[in-house]
Amino acid sequence: MKNYKELESQNIVHTYGRFDVCFESGQGSILKDTSGKEYVDFTSGIGVNSLGYNNEKWVKAVAKQAASLQHISNLYYTTPMIELAQSLVEKSGLSKVFFANSGAEANEGMIKTARKTNESKHTIITLQNSFHGRTLATLTATGQDVFHQHFGPFPEGFAYCPANDLDALKSMVNEDTLAIMMEMIQGEGGVMPLDYDFVQGVKQICEEKDILLLVDEVQTGIGRTGSFLCFQQYDILPDIISVAKGIGGGLPLAAFIMGEKCKDVLQPGDHGTTFGGNPVSCAGGNVVMEYMTEEFFQEVKEKGAYLRARLEAIPHIVRVNGMGLMLGAQLDEGIAVRDVINACNEKGALFLSAKANLRCLPPLVITKEEIARGMDVLEEVLSNWK
Ligand SMILES: *Cc1c(COP(=O)(O)O)cnc(C)c1O
Given ligand 1 and candidates 44, 188, 253, which is best to mutate, with the most ligand atoms within 8 Å of its CB?
A: 188
Query: pLDDT tens across 107-139, in order?
Result: 999 999 999 999 999 999 999 999 999 999 999
Cα of 215 vs centre of ligand 1, distance in Å, is 12
Cα of 85 vs centre of ligand 1, distance in Å, is 20
Query: pLDDT tens across 228-277, in order?
Result: 999 999 999 999 999 999 999 999 999 999 999 999 999 999 999 999 99
**Residue 280 in this model has a pLDDT that exceeds 80:** yes
Cα of 2 vs centre of ligand 1, distance in Å, is 32
Contact 171, 162 (CB under 8 A): no
Residue 98: predicted pLDDT: 98
Q: What percent of the chain has pLDDT over 90?
A: 98
Mean pLDDT value of segment 306-326: 98
Mean pLDDT value of segment 77-98: 98
Nearest CA to ligand 1 atom 10: 132
pLDDT averaged over every residue in the chain: 97
Nearest CA to ligand 1 atom 5: 103
- Strand spans (E) along the chain: 23-27, 30-33, 38-41, 96-100, 123-127, 158-161, 177-182, 185-186, 192-193, 212-216, 240-243, 254-258, 317-323, 326-331, 349-350, 352-354, 357-360
**Residue 281 in this model has a pLDDT that exceeds 90:** yes
Give the confidence band of 353 by pLDDT, cuts at 50, 70, 90: very high
Contact 248, 50 (CB under 8 A): no
Give the confidence band of 386 by pLDDT, cuts at 50, 70, 90: confident
**Residue 1 in this model has a pLDDT that exceeds 90:** no
Residue 2: predicted pLDDT: 72
Give the confidence band of 219 by pLDDT, cuts at 50, 70, 90: very high
Q: How far apart are CA 380 and CA 152, in angstroms?
A: 46
**Residue 76 in this model has a pLDDT that exceeds 80:** yes
Given ligand 1 and candidates 48, 142, 245, 253, which is best to mutate, with the most ligand atoms within 8 Å of its CB?
A: 245
Cis check: omega of the bond before 153, within 30 degrees of 0: yes
Query: pLDDT tens across 43-69, in order?
Result: 999 999 999 999 999 999 999 999 999
**Residue 289 in this model has a pLDDT that exceeds 80:** yes
Nearest CA to ligand 1 atom 11: 132
3-state secondary structure of 215: strand
Cα of 338 vs centre of ligand 1, distance in Å, is 21
Mean pLDDT value of segment 320-348: 98
Cα of 132 vs centre of ligand 1, distance in Å, is 6
Cα of 104 vs centre of ligand 1, distance in Å, is 6
Q: Degrees (nearest 5) of the Cα angle 244, 248, 252? A: 70
- Please report the atom of ligand 1 found closest to the CA of residue 107: 10
Given ligand 1 and candidates 50, 131, 192, 275, which is best to mutate, with the most ligand atoms within 8 Å of its CB?
A: 131
Ligand 1 neighbours by CB, cut-off 6 Å: 102-104, 107, 131-133, 183, 187-188, 216, 218-219, 244-245
